[in-house]
Amino acid sequence: MTSVPKVRPGDMVFWHCDAIHSVEQEHNGHSDSSVMYIPAVPQCEQNMDYIKRQAENFWKGVPPPDFPQGKTEIDFKGVGRPEDIIHPVGRKAMGIEVR
């Protein structure tokens, strides 16, 4: 397995989720470690079901259904809200237009 080199603020790492991958077994940092996952998926029944569940969580201000639940970011300054997504494509992708 090839490790990702040191990543600094503003750096990006691109990979495909179907490729073999792993994460470190232990986080040795002093603050949260974040990974932004931006998937591109086909519009099929399974994905549409997920979008509906994801939209419900977004309206509540909690993480998507496949992420760990618990402490949320709902009270963070500048956290995204449904009204922040104004473009029709974004609203469709987030499942907001079905509400």
Would you list the DSSP string of the chain?
-PPPPP--TT------TTS-----SS--SSS-------------HHHHHHHHHHHHHHHHT---TTS--SS-STTSTT---GGG--SHHHHHHTT-TT-
Examine residue 75 and state whether it is found in any structural domain, yes or no. Answer: yes
pLDDT at 42: 74
Q: What is the pTM of this model?
A: 0.53
Mean pLDDT confidence for 65-74: 78
Examine residue 50 and state whether it is found in any structural domain, yes or no. Answer: yes
Considering the chain, what is the average pLDDT of its residues? 78
Examine residue 4 and state whether it is found in any structural domain, yes or no. Answer: no
Q: Which of 26-40, 57-71, 74-88 has the lowest mean pLDDT?
A: 26-40
Structural domain for 60, as ranges: 45-93
